[in-house]
Structure 1
Amino acid sequence: MAVDSVKQQLNRVFSDEEALINKKLPKELLLRIFSFLDVVSLCRCAQVSKSWNILALDGSNWQRIDLFDFQKDVEGPIIENISRRCGGFLRQLSLRGCQSIADGSIKTLAQSCPNVEDLNLNGCKKLTDSSCNAFSKHCAKLQKLNLDSCAAVTDMSLKALSDGCPNLTHINVSWCSNITENGVEALARGCPRLKSFISKGCKQITSRAVICLARFCRHLEVINLKGCSSIRDEAVQSLAEKCPDLHYVCLSGCTFLTDASLIALAQKCPLLSTLEVAGCTQFTDAGFQALARSCRYLEKMDLDECILITDTTLIHLAMGCPRIEYLTLSHCELLTDEGIRHLSMSPCAAENLTVLELDNCPLITDASLEHLTSCHNLQRVELYDCQLITRIGIKRLRNHLPNIKVHAYFAPVTPPPSAGGNRQRYCRCCIIL
């Protein structure tokens, strides 16, 4: 009946208005054209005429909405109006950064838009477990949910989602400090289709929680445990054994991990393409040697502060990982020019390497920059606090790779001490203070 009512309204409006475009183009075609417009354009079109107002505000044109550009202005009533207008049409909604949105508006959204599949609530700091309870009751088709920085969310939210949203495949609970192993276990049991789990900064997530994820969510492809500092090797070993489809793994800041974790990933996860292990200070050449032998699809590696690795790691990566595009080696203080030489001679350097970060590598000299001239696709090099790098070396590199961005810092020259006479011990400012 609602559809018939809209058709009757459209017919009446189109018969009254004499705009040529309305006469030449069928209503269905105009509606189709409007479906390609963004939120701003739709709102502008709604002000043109009565007929365009009806077309622009038709729920079928509001299936995918991103209000990030309006984050400072969006209030609860706007979300409620959109929810009622879209109804069952809404599939994807981003409220990223809309800090004024509270549970009441989200409840209206959940009740009015039961077919929503993708919700981004990143930074909606006023939201609590009440919102997730509403999703559980009304949004059984929900597949992707981003709760990043929704600090008031607790384990109760994950338990509610596990009860009412069995189709969930992607969830982000980063910086939700109240999430613990109990919530993660409930989520894993109720959402076995989970493919992506992101929990940066959730320090209460333990090895037990990760083991539970591995046990019930065998289709995991992406896992980010950055800053989950209590994770141990047995958790990563369980993930590797039971989730062979993993291709993105972030373990940065998990300082208890050892080479046993890397060896497990090498043995069981051949599809691994991104590995971020910044701050994992116990990893050695042996672990990365195992990875290089088995994970030939690696494209991005962040080894920042893996302080025990040497040139041996670079030699093995050069031989075994031809697809590496992004490599971070900052604070790896044992690396030398010899390791960079092997890397620059590898297939990855010749074809794929685009970003190389070498901040705080004190043994790297201009010789490394000479080696990097053979990396024809290199776009950016980080050299902050590499004390043996000179301006001359950077200039030579740029002569070979004119489009490269080199980030380095050179401290100003210390002025010579003034000759003769006694200096005051304190400057005038110090004396006054």
Structure 2
Amino acid sequence: MSYVSRNKFESARKHIQEESGNLDVLGPENRSWWRQKSKNKQFNQSNSSMTVETVKQLTKVFCDDEALINKKLPKELILRIFSYLDVVSLCRCAQVSKAWNVLALDGSNWQRIDLFDFQKDVEGPIIENISRRCGGFLRQLSLRGCQSIADGSMKTLAALCPNVEDLNLNGCKKITDSTCQALAKHCVKIQKLNLDSCAAITDLSLKALSDGCPQLTHINISWCGNVTENGVEALARGCPKLKSFISKGCRQITSKAVVCLARFCEGLEVVNLLGCNNLRDEAVQVLAEKCNKLHYLCLSGCSQLTDTSLISLAQQCPYLSTLEVAGCSQFTDAGFQALARSCRYLEKMDLDECVLITDATLIHLAMGCPRIEYLTLSHCELITDEGIRHLSMSPCAAENLTVLELDNCPLITDASLEHLTSCHNLQRVELYDCQLITRVGIRRLRSHLTNIKVHAYFAPVTPPPSAGGSRQRYCRCCIIL
């Protein structure tokens, strides 16, 4: 049993009152009890022990079902307070008392659950218990990174939680088509489904979702390598309300699939086709023509595309705000000139490895795209200081430009850094392997923009040849190994 002085005990009492929102949780009967104890000589002694009765009273204040806080606050109010807590906090509250256990585990408090913090530790029985507890209350569930979850648990979830609308299964590698078939059978209200990195998913899943989930608006099938154009076509026909389609790394998705998607899902706003290197210009043309609400488009790695795609986007998609075309090596200044004339809402552009563009592209973007915040020009080896000068003088540079990536631009010199000093909101510059950039230029830039982060790499100076002696037989690495 711990020993406390009267002062410490009074301090603890005041702390309890403050933590309870200045409510008199002790009540009049308990205040008289405190006064009675303060008159006791044994209590006044500095080294007196806290009696068992004291512990019982404190326990009664907070933990017992008859505690004053439970009497004064209606259950509905406590339940409403619990509704703002996360999973961990709810579990802790459930351990306070029987009354709180019932309220904390009430299904209405478990409408939105994110188990990412638990990740691999989450086993199937936990999902089944949550399913039974939540029932029809569950609306949003994230199992991102829960690699132990398998089809059996997901079938239970689908059957017991038919009102789920947002389900994230990113990284659940044991999930197969059986899960999607169960979702299609029971969860007809589902709107958002993330199957990123669920490698066992095939066209059967998309066909099942097409038949059973007509309300689907967002789907992510990135790195599901077994999905083909047949699955995408079936999905498009059955889910015309799609607004977001993300399929990074799905190499079997062809132009035919994208054309079908565009024709049946004209409300598309977000499309990510990174690495779908079988796409041709005709697919992007139909996408631009049918889906003119597009504001995010990623075509990175689609190396067969030409300026025809960019011109189509310029003519049909005026609300485009993010365009990622890294690795599209056939794009030229002509395509970006057309884009800059029409797409004035562009905020983010990734032109990494668009090796044919020159300073002309930067001049057009500077004049036509005043909202650009993030611009990647890495490996654009024809860009020079002149292009950066025009960019730095543009409205976007003065007000919005925050990130500029210039890795592996061999013609960029310290003169470019001097131009960038006028970009008052610039927060980060990437200069890896820019051989003509010096430490002096970087220091000068930092002296003008004190909060900027500059990432650069300078190869170590080649050591001078040894003055004499025989050459070592092994390098240092070999000696260490």
Query: What range describes the TM-score normalised by the shorter chain of this pair?
Result: over 0.9
Out of 211, 219, 230, the position equivalent to 2:267 is 219
Out of 173, 176, 189, the position equivalent to 1:125 is 173
- For 2:145, the equivalent position in structure 1 comes to 97
- For 1:244, the equivalent position in structure 2 comes to 292
From the superposition, tell whether residues 422 and 224 of structure 1 become closer, same or farther in structure 2 (CA, over 3 Å): same
- For 1:353, the equivalent position in structure 2 comes to 401
Out of 346, 358, 363, the position equivalent to 1:310 is 358
How much does 1:416 deviate? 1.4
- For 1:142, the equivalent position in structure 2 comes to 190
- For 1:426, the equivalent position in structure 2 comes to 473
Q: Superposition pairs for residues 264-413 of structure 1, below 5 Å?
A: 264-413=312-461
- For 1:11, the equivalent position in structure 2 comes to none
Amino acid at match of 1:130: S
Structure 1 gap segments, 5+ residues each: 1-15
| RMSD after superposition | 1.5
Write the distance in 1 (CA, Å) between the matches of 2:437 and 2:87. Answer: 50
Residue deviations 1:352-390 (CA, integer Å, cap 9, x gap): 000000000000000000000000000000000000000
From the superposition, tell whether residues 77 and 428 of structure 1 become closer, same or farther in structure 2 (CA, over 3 Å): closer
Write the distance in 1 (CA, Å) between the matches of 2:134 and 2:231. Answer: 32
Amino acid at match of 1:315: I
Write the distance in 2 (CA, Å) between the matches of 1:431 and 1:72. Answer: 40
SS in 2 for 1:52: helix
Q: Does 1:60 align with 2:108?
A: yes
- For 2:71, the equivalent position in structure 1 comes to 23
SS in 1 for 2:297: strand
Amino acid at match of 2:205: S
SS in 2 for 1:68: coil
SS in 1 for 2:426: coil
Greater radius of gyration (CA): 2
How much does 1:431 deviate? 10
SS in 2 for 1:108: helix
Write the distance in 2 (CA, Å) between the matches of 1:304 and 1:109. Answer: 43
- For 1:189, the equivalent position in structure 2 comes to 237
- Structure-2-length-normalised TM-score: 0.85
- For 2:281, the equivalent position in structure 1 comes to 233
Residue deviations 1:275-322 (CA, integer Å, cap 9, x gap): 000000000000000010000000000000000000000000000000
How much does 1:415 deviate? 1.2
SS in 2 for 1:289: helix
Q: Does 1:169 align with 2:197?
A: no
Write the distance in 1 (CA, Å) between the matches of 2:263 and 2:417. Answer: 47
Q: Superposition pairs for residues 34-53 of structure 1, below 5 Å?
A: 34-53=82-101
How much does 1:428 deviate? 7.3
Amino acid at match of 1:134: A
SS in 2 for 1:69: coil
- Structure-1-length-normalised TM-score: 0.95
- Identity of counterpart residues, as a percentage? 86
Write the distance in 2 (CA, Å) between the matches of 1:91 and 1:234. Answer: 39
Structure 1 runs of 4+ with >2 Å offset: 421-433
How much does 1:154 deviate? 0.1
How much does 1:72 deviate? 2.4
